[in-house]
Structure 1
């Protein structure tokens, strides 16, 4: 309900759970407490700088006076550079008219919803996922969240989506996945693409198609044997129904530089550009010109990622090894092997355990607060990403931490877990909680 001072849409917007958690962390830091902050989906410049090449190009463009309005759909050098970038790195051939430049990736997502979705249309999205529930609300759509399973790395499958997409207007996908740090296999994504093509073939001439918004902003950050895949490479017919959302924010630690883009069928791109022209959500001109130079400099990209990706992967591996080490010691925790992005999915299955103060942990929020207070470990529960169940799953983000902080944190975490009392009927191990509490 609203008193009329603001719109019903604005009154109904839910605040960011991550920002609420950030308030807790700021208060503790202000009191001098040591926190290993794994909450922010961002990069600390103290840990990860943007490429030096990009920084120099931005300064040069500013010095050259490139400070006026850019074209609302992006400067032509960058639009051409994005088309070339997609062809060179992904083997995707798109013309310049398919490329729209945006002020970071968020305006791209907003323009997809604003252009393709009418009030009342069904938008299917997996949970956990980032912010789709908010964009559904803003657009007046009917959100249909599909809960994904840990055994599927929290990624949707054709079997989970099959019924949901009947009559839907938009399917929102993200890989590598925020918040989970997992990525589609070619087989799993290919099956989803087949489902989309079959659904569109089933629809009559008067029915609008089902589109896929494919957010791949983390695609250059994959690890181990993981290879990034996309709908159009796997199934070329998907080009008619796929809108890519991408940018430099994550792969180049450039979240504050605010350069993103979408790549889509020309008619869709034209209408998205019209929407954003009225919003004014374009990237700054100097940053656009600098980005055009950078994404065309393959050797610079390779050199930057050689160090940057190694740093991200080392932090993720340290978190994974530490949590799995605690699991091996009998603590009810586990993690999913990191595949991409800057995130690790970790489960703290502490429901029913009692703190030294006598509180019985019953919800993810209580577990989060205990980890923060007792171990100085700041994490984000999956509820912030649309999950309803209190299963202990949390997102751990490594963009603003380092290996030394992680090592010290695990000492505190081990002590905090040992301080918990096991639920009735659960046998404690000497020096640890319980072998029976170990997760499969």
Structure 2
């Protein structure tokens, strides 16, 4: 039966800035800088302009499909009727599979009680913050890094950024961490790092872990709350050219008392939309994280969980998939890196850090003090970003989107997950021409 439709648009369009309409937290939450950049790209694409989009931390399935075994496993699980709620902490079969996976691939022996399944990595990060951090507690994290400033805002925590530079590959040193440890409740690290694609060397991470153990022994003697480490290594299977991935408990076993891992299939299997992630850590912390996510309902779908069980246990299938997948990622990163280094050798204002892992390349484009052909001065990263998009049809993300707060150094993240090698090859001459055209 049809009925009259009431026009409510006028009422629903209440002023967004009206006092008291949303919470203080929500009103102060800053939107994603990357999403704003995406709007610029969409406008160009709608106008028929082809853009080499190096902004998205995602994979184009046409370039990088998920493993066939994972796809078929999901289809079969759905066909078998696995469409109801999973347990809030994840299927036992998957938690067992993750424990086996960590033992086999990382040499880390955990029980299933240390494993929590969630709908990707983000719910695990949020749950760790919720389980460990009170309002006003200090959270230390390197900048650039991904989203820690926003999680701190949502919890009312006190942000303590550790500013990192190119001399340490944008990763914190032991000395830098030592300066913040006495103040912090939580230290957040990510390796390989989003946005830079750089990874901790063994001695650097070992030094940080030894400092955390020493700090926590001091706190135990003083009766103080411990310091925890949130270690996001969701890109750990994507390391290249002899780069070895290291974990805190793998280097210092006692770190298992205070380390919460964030991980999942999103990046290692190009399965960002499948939404299967996990946290691994101390049982008491994992239990409270599970309680938090149980109330939020942030679990991974049952069918996808079942398919992930089979995939993680299939060593040969993983090796076969990564043989092509990782080769495709590193080929794109190398093409981009070598092309930009050639421009640098030509004398243009570009540079790049050799890729170590993930799907990102750290690039510096710094023609500051010059002007575009139409006379606009290039004074900061945003000016350069817009110029590259307009003049070279290349989209990049400036480091200030990752908490640096410094818009004038010329550092950018370039992501290769959604482009082909040919798109990169075609884009490099356009970048060169755009930089040569500057006055």
Counterparts of residues 37-436 of structure 1 (less than 5 Å)? 37-203=53-219, 204-389=221-406, 390-421=408-439
SS in structure 2 of the partner of residue 330 of structure 1: coil
Q: State the shift of 1:167 in Å.
A: 2.7
Cα deviations by residue, 1:76-120 (Å, 9 ceiling, x for unpaired): 000000000000000000000000000000000000001000000
Q: State the shift of 1:351 in Å.
A: 1.2
In the alignment, what sits opposite 1:11? 27
SS in structure 2 of the partner of residue 163 of structure 1: helix
**Separation in structure 1 between the aligned mates of residue 180 and residue 392 of structure 2, nearest angstrom:** 41
**Separation in structure 2 between the aligned mates of residue 13 and residue 32 of structure 1, nearest angstrom:** 34
**Separation in structure 2 between the aligned mates of residue 377 and residue 66 of structure 1, nearest angstrom:** 43
SS in structure 1 of the partner of residue 142 of structure 2: strand
**Separation in structure 1 between the aligned mates of residue 351 and residue 429 of structure 2, nearest angstrom:** 17
Structure 1, unmatched stretches of 5+, are 422-440
Query: 1:2, 1:11 within 8 Å by CA — same for their partners in 2?
Result: no
Q: State the shift of 1:30 in Å.
A: 0.7
Is 1:35 the counterpart of 2:79? The answer is: no
**Separation in structure 2 between the aligned mates of residue 153 and residue 2 of structure 1, nearest angstrom:** 44
Cα deviations by residue, 1:290-328 (Å, 9 ceiling, x for unpaired): 001100101000000000000000000000001100000
Q: State the shift of 1:225 in Å.
A: 1.4
Cα deviations by residue, 1:225-276 (Å, 9 ceiling, x for unpaired): 1011110000101000100000000000000000000001000111000000
**Separation in structure 2 between the aligned mates of residue 161 and residue 364 of structure 1, nearest angstrom:** 28
SS in structure 1 of the partner of residue 250 of structure 2: helix
Question: Judging changes above 3 Å, is the alpha-carbon distance between structure 1 residues 267 and 402 closer, same or farther for their aligned structure 2 residues?
Answer: same
**Separation in structure 1 between the aligned mates of residue 365 and residue 161 of structure 2, nearest angstrom:** 24
Q: State the shift of 1:388 in Å.
A: 1.8
SS in structure 2 of the partner of residue 166 of structure 1: helix
The CA RMSD measured in Å over matched residues stands at: 0.8
Q: State the shift of 1:141 in Å.
A: 0.3
Cα deviations by residue, 1:111-155 (Å, 9 ceiling, x for unpaired): 000100000000000000000000010111000011101011100
**Separation in structure 1 between the aligned mates of residue 167 and residue 345 of structure 2, nearest angstrom:** 19
Counterparts of residues 17-28 of structure 1 (less than 5 Å)? 17-28=33-44
SS in structure 1 of the partner of residue 181 of structure 2: coil
In the alignment, what sits opposite 1:424? none
The range that moved more, 201-210 or 288-297, is 201-210
Q: State the shift of 1:2 in Å.
A: 7.1
Query: 1:382, 1:394 within 8 Å by CA — same for their partners in 2?
Result: yes
Structure 1 outlier segments of 4+, above 6 Å: none
Query: 1:2, 1:8 within 8 Å by CA — same for their partners in 2?
Result: no
Cα deviations by residue, 1:202-227 (Å, 9 ceiling, x for unpaired): 11443110000000000000000101
**Separation in structure 2 between the aligned mates of residue 93 and residue 205 of structure 1, nearest angstrom:** 30
**Separation in structure 1 between the aligned mates of residue 311 and residue 218 of structure 2, nearest angstrom:** 43
| TM-score calculated relative to the size of structure 1 | 0.95
Query: 1:110, 1:135 within 8 Å by CA — same for their partners in 2?
Result: yes
Question: Judging changes above 3 Å, is the alpha-carbon distance between structure 1 residues 271 and 322 closer, same or farther for their aligned structure 2 residues?
Answer: same
In the alignment, what sits opposite 1:431? none
**Separation in structure 1 between the aligned mates of residue 55 and residue 18 of structure 2, nearest angstrom:** 32
Structure 2, unmatched stretches of 5+, are 1-16
Query: 1:117, 1:170 within 8 Å by CA — same for their partners in 2?
Result: yes
The number of aligned residues is: 421
**Separation in structure 1 between the aligned mates of residue 134 and residue 431 of structure 2, nearest angstrom:** 47
